[in-house]
Amino acid sequence: MDLGLLERVVIISGAGRGIGRVTALTFAQEGARVVVCDVDLEAAQQVVGEIEAAGGAGMASRCDVRDESQVQSVVNEAIARFGRVDVMVNNAGISKDVSLLKMTEEQWDWVMDVNVKGSFHFCRAVLPSMRENKWGRIINLSSRSMFGNPGQTNYTASKMAIIGFTRSLSLEQARHGITVNSVAPGFVETEGMKGLEIYPRLREMALAKNPVGFLGEPKDIAGMITFLASEQARYVTGTNVLVTGGRFSS
């Protein structure tokens, strides 16, 4: 199936590793031009190196999604280099897990700022280009954790917020040829996951509870994101797609 992504201009936040990295490589394989944005510039450059080594086109950009001016600069650079923005994948996300009574305001704000405000900044920055071209795809990363996990009040709140944000924005943009959807992955083994103190216990629990009997890989999420960015998905908007191997509750 031709996804119609040839020469589409795609920005992916937090694409230096994990789900974002594999999503960037997948878009590049489809012939898209990929702006790999991450707070870790070296990681972003490595991903662009992989894209170029495979014959694709990409650009690395350092950006902290919490900072509106840095986000705007990435979008300006993307437009200067590739002419427009067609697809935005708001993938950058973090967790700071601790029970509510021990949670600091800084831990709350950090998670909300990266996971929610980052999407707010990027959507505002890319929409003028999409509106001008009457075509656009925005894909935001939520999480199966939106259903609730102990120790994740901040993360859960942020991932539920993404769903409401996605629904409202999809209604605002539907008449402009722009779709807005979210993807909620279940447990996916990434560098971010492996860095968590509770990773071994989480992995064991996720495997035990997973109906399909195996854990998801970044490519499983990348496949759904690229589909939502495709021509074939033009009638899909305002929805949240669970990519969890059948697991939905905690």
Residues of the shown chain interacting with ligand NAD in the complex, contacts defined by CB under 6 A: 13-14, 16-20, 38-40, 43, 63-66, 91-94, 114, 141, 143, 185, 187-188, 190-193
List 82, 122, 135, 155, catalytic entry:
155
The two three-digit tokens of residue 39, written as one number: 């707070």
The H-or-E segment that residue 220 falls in is helix 218-228
Instruction: Calculate the CA dihedral of residues 85, 125, 236, 249 and round it to 10 degrees.
Output: 130
Using the minimum distance from each CB to ligand NAD, give the nearer residue, 71 or 130: 71
Task: State the minimum distance, in angstroms, from the CB of residue 176 to ligand NAD.
Answer: 25
Using the minimum distance from each CB to ligand NAD, give the nearer residue, 13 or 153: 13
For residue 157, count other CB atoms closer than 10 A to its CB.
16
Task: State the minimum distance, in angstroms, from the CB of residue 72 to ligand NAD.
Answer: 14
For residue 168, count other CB atoms closer than 10 A to its CB.
12
Question: What is the chain's length?
Answer: 250
Task: State the minimum distance, in angstroms, from the CB of residue 171 to ligand NAD.
Answer: 23
Is residue 155 annotated as a catalytic residue, yes or no?
Answer: yes
CA distance 46 to 198: 28
Using the minimum distance from each CB to ligand NAD, give the nearer residue, 66 or 131: 66
Instruction: Calculate the CA dihedral of residues 118, 71, 137, 216 and round it to 10 degrees.
Output: -50
8 A C-beta contact, residue 31 and residue 7 = yes
User: For residue 108, what are the contacts with CB-CB under 8 A and spacing of at least 6?
Assistant: 154
Using the minimum distance from each CB to ligand NAD, give the nearer residue, 19 or 178: 19
8 A C-beta contact, residue 139 and residue 87 = yes
The two three-digit tokens of residue 75, written as one number: 């979008």
8 A C-beta contact, residue 24 and residue 226 = no
Using the minimum distance from each CB to ligand NAD, give the nearer residue, 135 or 245: 245
Task: State the minimum distance, in angstroms, from the CB of residue 194 to ligand NAD.
Answer: 8
* Active site amino acids: 155
